[in-house]
Structure 1
């Protein structure tokens, strides 16, 4: 029976060769979600600047929110904070019992290809669509802020000024985006929203109860 540790150890041996096969534009990142904030356990290549001991991105949080129902997320395109265009695939890792415990992420820097596509689009009179920005960082607080800030922009209102009724949909959205799957996230969210931990846990429980209603 393959254990999670055995699977991770095997992958650590092969990802340098896989990254080298695709060249300097490829990066492969191995995540162990059991490690909480420090989920990155191996990196080969340099595209997003990931390092061992780093945190998952918003994409990883979304996969964590799916739990054991997570599925392969293939060929999605995002943009780093530095402006590089990255095509990625995230593959959940399962132990022998079918439980998701980590992920293998492949990132390809397609900035140059995107620039060519944009040029052709300009010539054809087609406006290129801008890919969403993903926060690749070693600091979980930066990921947390990016997730909350995205919801704050959608609300067009500071999150620390929301009434309880306005706050409940926000917490539901943050929960669905997997923010609370990381240990220690709740107190940080409470501080960002300007409420007590007790209030946050009460409101979050209410959101989850409402979400179970038919």
Structure 2
């Protein structure tokens, strides 16, 4: 099965080159291998997010990874990068002959460059208010992506960890689990350090969240 998946990923390299060449300098096409989320980028054409081959997946990719074979294509969503670029993306999941999800083909369009040009405008962007666009971390380092997801979830709680109730702490870990954070190797110690708690506490909260997921009929991800 790995040989089949490797062949599909190799075949998509020229496809990525062709799409990027057709759409121009504001386009980036990325081929991801979900079997190695810390270095999921196996081919990339164009440069919008600043990643290279061997780079890590984003929060969007981790969310797909967490959903496993239930993952579906995510089309025409808009995010903003940490350096301020407005990016419109479509992520198409890759499946092998058994129907198992193992990767993704992602097309990223830099709308910032497009809107600064003259002509390719409202129909392509489909954006009304840029201030409502969520910020997404793209990078070659998976640790930076994990940290960004943890920080975003903690900011939503509005208070430091020490002031959260047990229910609120579990909600934070449940959100991280659903976003696929714990599918990344060494994520639990990293999350613990980011939150300022012990590894044992982090593993206990994660175990409880995974137990909830199992009782709901979903399959827990290994961290």
Normalising to structure 1: TM-score of the pair?
0.88
Instruction: Deviation per CA, 1:46-78: give whole Å up to 9, x if none.
Output: 111111111011111111111101111000011
Report how many residues are paired: 206
Cα deviation, residue 193, structure 1: 2.2
Cα deviation, residue 197, structure 1: 2.3
Detail structure 1 runs of 4+ shifted over 6 Å in the superposition: none
Instruction: Deviation per CA, 1:86-107: give whole Å up to 9, x if none.
Output: 1100011111111111111000
Give 1:155's aligned residue. 157
Partners in 2 of 1:180 and 1:8 — Cα distance? Answer: 24
Normalising to structure 2: TM-score of the pair?
0.84
Give the direction of change, closer, same or farther, for the CA distance of 1:113–1:27 in structure 2 (3 Å limit): closer
Give the direction of change, closer, same or farther, for the CA distance of 1:160–1:47 in structure 2 (3 Å limit): farther
Instruction: Deviation per CA, 1:138-175: give whole Å up to 9, x if none.
Output: 11121111111111111111236545443111101110
Gaps of 5+ in 2: 123-127, 218-223
1:78 is paired with a residue whose SS is: strand
Give 1:52's aligned residue. 53
Give 2:105's aligned residue. 104
Give 1:12's aligned residue. 13
Partners in 1 of 2:61 and 2:95 — Cα distance? Answer: 15
Partners in 2 of 1:147 and 1:44 — Cα distance? Answer: 26
User: 5 Å matches for 1:55-70?
Assistant: 55-70=56-71
Give 2:168's aligned residue. 166
Partners in 2 of 1:11 and 1:4 — Cα distance? Answer: 11
Select the residue among 195, 201, 209 that pairs with 2:197: 195
| Superposition CA RMSD, Å | 2.3
